[in-house]
């Protein structure tokens, strides 16, 4: 179901089973609210899915925040958009009677999920970060105790250096999160290993 009644165009799928946290699906550059729905259904069958469309356009392609160049983020815009998305999550939880969701983000969406964890940790129960990098030059250090995070990097990712992803994982762990980090023998795109590890983590 696509909903345009909030401040984000978004897809919502109600839960059909108990036992799964709801998933907040955050697409990569050029995706939309439908992109990660099949993955969400595959890795967490029966879970409620909330999937917003990024509101920033880059050459006509939706994103969750602006960037100045590849790998160089507009941090003022990122902070603004993270606050906006945290408000949307609170509204969606109220509208759909949901507990705090796990974010499942890919690329730009994973970077937004990482920013939410650092800037608005109350918005998420945890996260799966697929091809994420440090979202901010100066990283906040919130208390993330009790939050579970899976971070999957690509060994041959041409966009995100493995050391950057590892540094993000270490920072989140230093903030108290329970972090599981893997570097997979893949590039920036998603693989069967991403699906398997995500499914195991969420179950």
Active site residues: 107, 157, 188
Distance CA 36, CA 32 (A): 8
Distance CA 78, CA 67 (A): 9
Which residues is 126 bridged to in the sheet? 102, 148
Report residue 19 CA to chain centroid gap: 21
């Amino acid at each position: 179901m696509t909903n345009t009644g909030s401040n984000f165009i978004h897809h919502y799928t109600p839960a059909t089973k108990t036992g799964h946290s709801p998933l907040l699906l955050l697409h990569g550059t050029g995706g939309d609210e439908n992109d990660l729905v099949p993955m969400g259904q595959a890795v967490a069958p029966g879970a409620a899915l909330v999937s917003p469309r990024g509101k920033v356009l880059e050459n006509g392609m939706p994103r969750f925040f602006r960037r100045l160049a590849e790998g160089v983020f507009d941090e003022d815009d990122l902070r603004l958009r993270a606050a906006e998305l945290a408000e949307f999550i609170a509204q969606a939880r109220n509208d759909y009677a949901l507990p705090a969701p796990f974010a499942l983000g890919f690329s730009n969406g994973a970077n937004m999920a990482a920013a939410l964890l650092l800037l608005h940790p109350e918005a998420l129960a945890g996260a799966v970060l697929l091809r994420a990098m440090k979202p901010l030059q100066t990283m906040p250090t919130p208390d993330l105790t009790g939050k579970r995070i899976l971070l999957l990097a690509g060994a041959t990712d041409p966009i995100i250096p493995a050391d950057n992803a590892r540094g993000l994982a270490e920072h989140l762990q230093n903030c108290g999160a329970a972090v599981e980090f893997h570097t997979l023998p893949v590039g920036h795109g998603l693989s069967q290993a991403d699906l398997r590890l995500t499914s195991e983590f969420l179950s």
